[in-house]
Amino acid sequence: MIEVRNADFVTAARSLGVSKIGTLVRHVVPNALAPIIVLATMELGVFIVTEATLSFLGIGLPGSIMSWGNDISAAKDTLRTNPEVLMFPATALSITVLSFIMLGDALRDALDPKSRKR
């Protein structure tokens, strides 16, 4: 918001007589909303990994609640005899986190006004 507030188009709108509320609604919020959406999408993957890590360590969700961290923790004991029990939740976790990061990257490319061609 601070970066957008000091942008040239906001200064130009203010010099043309647009009110502070009008400048906020028409210029500042639309230009600050895209980075917030992108950041939230990318951070969602980080939150999923954090929850899985805490559950794996035993300080996250209780063992009775379904979680990839709990599944990975339960499968570590049978890794030598039955490795696919570990591979399924670990692969699902990796694909989900990678998908959210790639979605955030694609949103950044789509919503970045500086990268648009005129």
pLDDT at 52 over 90: yes
Residue 13 lies in a domain: no
Domain count, the chain: 1
30-48: pLDDT as tens digits: 777 888 888 888 899 999 9
Mean pLDDT of the chain: 84
Q: Which residue has the tokens 């004991």?
A: 77
When comparing pLDDT for 18 and 3, which is higher?
18
- Its domain, for residue 91, covers 35-111
Residue 6 lies in a domain: no
Residue 24 lies in a domain: no
* Buried/exposed code over 84-106 (b: 16+ C-beta within 10 A; e: otherwise): ebbeebeeebeebbeebbeebee
Residue 63 lies in a domain: yes
